[in-house]
């Protein structure tokens, strides 16, 4: 993989798309009953039934919380923290869904804050946001229950706030989706991360909760460094901090018009740039539950949530295969904006960001129509983005057709 000056900015800011150090640290650990499942699958220690298994996962909103902090300080609007609460839920929920777990789910939230900067009204908004979102999900058939959590005052460790969650589920072992079943001949169906689906109310930028360190610093104006130094890592060179040109309160239509030449779009009327950048991570849980009830798990050879690692995430789960994505979605405006402003290589863009779809299914061609229909049912754009072939020389690889040609990634 190529690595230029733009590409190294992500690492220089203390972030990693590949998390190589983490993968090395856990290399010798037990990977559970289904090592290729998207989440760790354990024996049924809760019910002691050999036909069942337990799943558990932990994740959070990441540095998106720092962006929410800026927006809150600038506007005084605490409701922005409810979006962060959603992010922390979805980053767990959708990972469990990719292993075939369709609920019920149990959730525990963990909030670490600097009490001097994050008052009770923010904590209240996060907690209320979690409760409201679980109720909203239940209305869409996703049975998620919140079991409380922990809020810790960690001023010596945290400058603002960290919002994380842990989620668990119990399911039949024969319903687990394990990505080792991905095989030559499989078709890849991608589901859009952007736009407005049936259970969203405003235009979603598609950013999710990955790559926000890059997006925040590359797009936002250097003014924010001087006004909110607590929102950055003091050990990072200041030239890499808030090196962009935009302010959070700018009109989204004006930003996209002046930077990308995009015409006004009704779904973006009234949105400012900050709200759009903070778009809550889209969940695919209602879609996945409906689809699996419809087709079962037998034909679902694999399911990948394109989170950390972006479009290269699948390389963590396959062996001796060639994955080819040659018809991805047209690049959504936010990712086009990031690339244009930073001149980051397309190689790196597809490794850091989802670039338009956060969920991809690997399944026989005979099931593609059903998958596309369920996407349409929930108002989520869906399309065949690629296919799987046999690797040559047993070399696991990924090819992505980008704007300037084929991008090659090897496991």
Buried b / exposed e over 109-121, threshold 16 CB at 10 Å, is bbbbbbeebbeee
Task: Locate 180 and state its tokens.
Answer: 């080792």
Question: Which structural domains are found in the chain, ordered by start?
Answer: 1-29+177-411 (3.90.650.10), 31-173 (3.30.1330.10)
Dump pLDDT digits (tens) for 73-116. Answer: 999 999 999 999 999 999 999 999 999 999 999 999 999 999 99
d(CA 367, CA 155): 52
For the chain, first and last CA: distance in Å?
11
Q: Using alpha carbons, select from 42, 318, 39 the residue that is nearest to residue 173.
A: 42
Q: Which residues are paired to 360 by β-bridges?
A: 190, 304
d(CA 20, CA 308): 11
Q: Using alpha carbons, select from 164, 184, 196 the residue that is nearest to residue 60.
A: 164
Q: What are the pLDDT tens digits along the chain (411 aa)? A: 333 344 566 566 666 555 566 557 666 677 899 999 999 999 999 999 999 999 999 999 999 999 999 999 999 999 999 999 999 999 999 999 999 999 999 999 999 999 999 999 999 999 999 999 999 999 999 999 999 899 999 999 999 999 999 999 999 999 999 999 999 999 999 999 999 999 999 999 999 999 999 999 999 999 999 999 999 999 999 999 999 999 999 999 999 999 999 999 999 999 999 999 999 999 999 999 999 999 999 899 999 999 999 999 999 999 999 999 999 999 999 999 999 999 999 999 999 999 999 999 999 999 999 999 999 999 999 999 999 999 988 899 999 999 999 999 998
């Amino acid at each position: 993989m190529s690595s230029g000056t733009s590409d190294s900015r992500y690492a220089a800011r203390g972030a990693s798309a590949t998390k190589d150090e983490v993968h090395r640290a856990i290399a010798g650990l037990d990977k559970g009953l289904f090592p290729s499942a998207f989440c760790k699958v354990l024996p049924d220690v809760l019910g002691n039934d050999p036909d069942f298994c337990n799943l558990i996962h932990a994740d959070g909103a990441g540095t998106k919380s720092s962006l929410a902090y800026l927006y809150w300080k600038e506007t005084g609007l605490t409701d922005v923290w409810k979006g962060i609460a959603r992010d922390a839920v979805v980053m767990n929920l959708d990972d469990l869904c990719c292993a075939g777990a369709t609920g019920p789910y149990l959730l525990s939230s963990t909030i670490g804050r600097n009490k001097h900067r994050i008052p009770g009204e923010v904590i209240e908004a996060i907690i209320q946001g979690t409760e409201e979102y679980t109720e909203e999900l239940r209305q869409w058939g996703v049975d998620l229950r919140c079991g409380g959590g922990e809020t810790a005052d960690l001023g010596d460790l945290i400058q603002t706030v960290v919002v994380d969650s842990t989620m668990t589920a119990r399911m039949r072992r024969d319903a687990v989706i394990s990505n080792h079943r991905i095989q030559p001949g499989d078709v890849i169906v991608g589901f859009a991360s952007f736009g407005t689906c049936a259970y969203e109310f405003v235009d979603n930028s598609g950013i999710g909760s990955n790559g926000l360190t890059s997006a925040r610093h590359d797009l936002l104006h250097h003014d924010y460094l001087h006004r909110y130094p607590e929102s950055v890592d003091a050990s990072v060179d200041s030239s890499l901090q808030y090196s962009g040109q935009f302010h959070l309160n700018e009109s989204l239509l004006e930003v996209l018009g002046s930077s990308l030449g995009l015409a006004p779009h009704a779904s973006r009327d009234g949105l400012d740039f900050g709200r759009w950048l903070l778009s809550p991570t889209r969940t695919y849980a209602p879609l996945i539950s409906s689809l699996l009830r419809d087709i079962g798990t037998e034909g679902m050879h694999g399911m990948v949530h394109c989170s950390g690692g972006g479009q290269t995430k699948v390389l963590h789960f396959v062996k001796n295969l060639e994955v080819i994505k040659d018809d991805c979605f047209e690049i959504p405006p936010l990712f086009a904006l990031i690339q244009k402003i930073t001149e980051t290589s397309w190689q790196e863009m597809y490794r850091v960001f989802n670039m338009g779809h956060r969920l991809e299914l690997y399944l026989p061609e005979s099931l593609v129509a059903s998958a596309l229909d369920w996407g349409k049912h929930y108002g989520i754009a869906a399309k065949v983005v690629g296919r799987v072939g046999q690797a040559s020389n047993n070399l696991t690889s990924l090819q992505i057709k980008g704007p300037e040609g084929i991008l090659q990634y090897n496991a």
